Amino acid sequence: MGEELKPEQKPEEQRPEPAAVRIEPDLGFIKQVSEWGGGDLKTCFQCATCAVVCPLSPDVNPFPRKEVLWAQWGLRSKLVADPDLWLCHRCNDCSEHCPRGAKTGDVMAALRSYAYQEHATPRFLGRLLNQPLALPLLLAFPALVIWAVITKGGSFAIPAGEVAGLSSTYWGKMIEPWPWLDLSFIAAVGFVLISFYASVKKLWQGFMASGVQPDLKPKLTIPQALVKAVTDILFHRKFAECGAANARRSAHLLIFFGFAGLAVTTALVFVGMYLFGLKTPLPLGHWIKILGNASAIAITIGLVLTIVRRLTPGAATVRYGRGAYQDVLFLGVLTLVVATGIFSEVFRLATLHDLAYGTYFLHLTFVFFLLFYAPFSKLAHVVYHATTLTWAYHVGRALKTLPVDARVQAPVEAAKQGQ
């Protein structure tokens, strides 16, 4: 199959001359990307070390050199349609090996921040998510929704004298109209799915038209490609190929599976409540509860590792990246979701019910935030990476067919060993 994937090489003289491309640099775009952590994009002098050391870069039109070049020239539309932004796992091998000390990995991250915004449906939400000044407004919306749902029945009151920490009536009283709450979340999920569908469709069409992969003949069917992409993601196979930031793989795995576990827990509880009359809160020994708590522990460890690495100054900053606003926002909200979730459980068990109520309210707000804004925030990366990887397997862009030169591979391997 590897043979098949090689690009068709035509002799130079037979190749028809390509049409001239009209270039119109977008100064605003360059400024925006620079502000979002891509400030090093002008440092590049086109040596292509980055594209050579990158373990994930394909042989044809490799990244991230061309992305940096396009960014230098302000070629906004080319970058927005570029599939390679999403093939990048921010290993930061490029940043580590850049002879001019550019943080190429950070430039790629900044470009992704821009792309989230551009692919967002509706787009204004994408813009707002990238705008620090809009954060209070963005936070206010889920807070109001939860508040409105809770106060609908006028029952958002702390039940007097109730101290039965394990009583199921306890939570039910706090948020009397459960269906209202669930309906609002269901509506949010519906909105998110529609939004993602539109974005993914746009993304896929953009990839096809981008010209980044000249040979678009399908190499795998879409379902086959999807299976490969999903298994890659489950095992973090691409992450495993990274050099400099290889250590991120374990932290990301913890967050990924912790998050998935919590999502599954939530779904099970929902189904259980409506179909099997499951009463919450569940006892600590219940298998669903155990799944939830274990997931919470996993994601907590993953988040702590990530945050500590990001905040460590020096070489680690190059290795793990500085993080653009979108990254920080996502990490922050995710941390708050997990923290408020854990603390509301802890406070409930400790029967500190004032605190438990308040924390649970915040937890619901942050969960709504995370869910509702998913297509416009960094959480969308789950969908975009999965889509891109599927597309890449589909058209044969996800496989390296040429061997990597040992002289190049050695430092990458050494960097991996050094973790």
Partner 1 sequence: MENAKLGLYLCSGCGIGDAVDVPKLAATAEKYGKPAVCRTHACLCSAEGVKTIREDQAREGLNTLCLAACSPRVMTEVFDFDPRETVVDRVNLREHVAWCSKPKDEDTQALAEDYLRMGLTRAKRMELLKRYESETVKTILVVGGGIAGMTAALEAALAGYEIILCEKSDRLGGFLGKLSSRFPHTAPFEEPEPPPTAALADAVLSHPRIAVRLSTTVESTAGQPGQLDVTLKSAATSETIRVGAVVMATGFKLYDPKKLGRWGYGLSPNVLTCEELEHQLAANVLRRSDGRTPRSVAFLLCAGSRDPEHLPYCSAVCCRVALKQALQIRRLSPETKVYIFYKDLRSPGRHEDFYRHVQADPGIFLTKAELREVRPAKDRARGLEVEVSGTALGERLVVEAELVVLATGMQPATEGDASHLGLKYRQGPDLPTIEHGFPDSKFVCFPYETRRTAFYTAGCVREPMDSDRAVEDATGAAMKAIQAVELTGQGRALHPRTGDLSFPDFFLQRCTQCKRCTEECPFGAIDEDEKGTPKPNPNRCRRCGVCMGACPERIISFANYSVPMIGAALKEIEVPDAEDEKPRIVVLACENDALPALDIAAMNRMQLDATVRFQSVRCLGSLNIVWIADCLSKGIDAVLLLGCKFGDDLQCHFIKGSELASKRLENLQETLGRLMLDANRIRLEQVSIMDFHRIPEIVNAFAAEVREMEPNPYKGF
DSSP states along 158-227: PPTT---TT-HHHHHHHT--HHHHHHHHHHHHHHHHHHHHHHHHHHHHHHHHH-SSS----SS-HHHHHH
Where would I find the beta strands (DSSP E) of 219-359? none
Contact flag: residue 13 with partner 1 (CB under 8 A): no
Residue closer to partner 1 (CB basis): 43 or 77: 43
Candidates 7, 43, 222, 335; binder of partner 1 (CB under 8 A) is 43
Residue closer to partner 1 (CB basis): 42 or 286: 42
Residue closer to partner 1 (CB basis): 35 or 215: 35
- Size of the residue set binding partner 1 (CB under 8 A): 23
Candidates 73, 147, 191, 270; binder of partner 1 (CB under 8 A) is 73
Contact flag: residue 407 with partner 1 (CB under 8 A): no
Contact flag: residue 111 with partner 1 (CB under 8 A): no
How far, in Å, CA of 360 to CA of 358, rounded?
Answer: 5
Residues whose CB falls within 8 Å of the CB of residue 113, separated by 6 or more in sequence, listed in order: 36, 37, 130, 324, 325, 326, 327, 378
Contact flag: residue 46 with partner 1 (CB under 8 A): yes
How far, in Å, CA of 377 to CA of 343, rounded?
Answer: 25
Structure tokens at 128: 């707002």
Contact flag: residue 70 with partner 1 (CB under 8 A): yes
User: With CB under 8 A as the contact rule, which of the stretches 66-74, 173-181, 316-324, 377-385 interacts with partner 1?
Assistant: 66-74
Q: What is the DSSP letter of 234?
A: H
User: With CB under 8 A as the contact rule, which of the stretches 14-22, 339-347, 350-358, 367-375 interacts with partner 1?
Assistant: 14-22
Contact flag: residue 21 with partner 1 (CB under 8 A): yes
Residue 411 one-letter amino acid: P
Contact flag: residue 214 with partner 1 (CB under 8 A): no
**What burial class does residue 266 get, using C-beta atoms within 10 Å of its C-beta: 0-12 exposed, 13-18 middle, 19+ buried?**
middle
Q: Rounded to an integer, what is the distance from CA 406 to the centroid of its chain?
A: 32
Candidates 3, 13, 17, 405; binder of partner 1 (CB under 8 A) is 17
List contacts with partner 1 (CB under 8 A).
17-25, 27, 30-31, 34, 42-43, 45-46, 69-70, 72-75
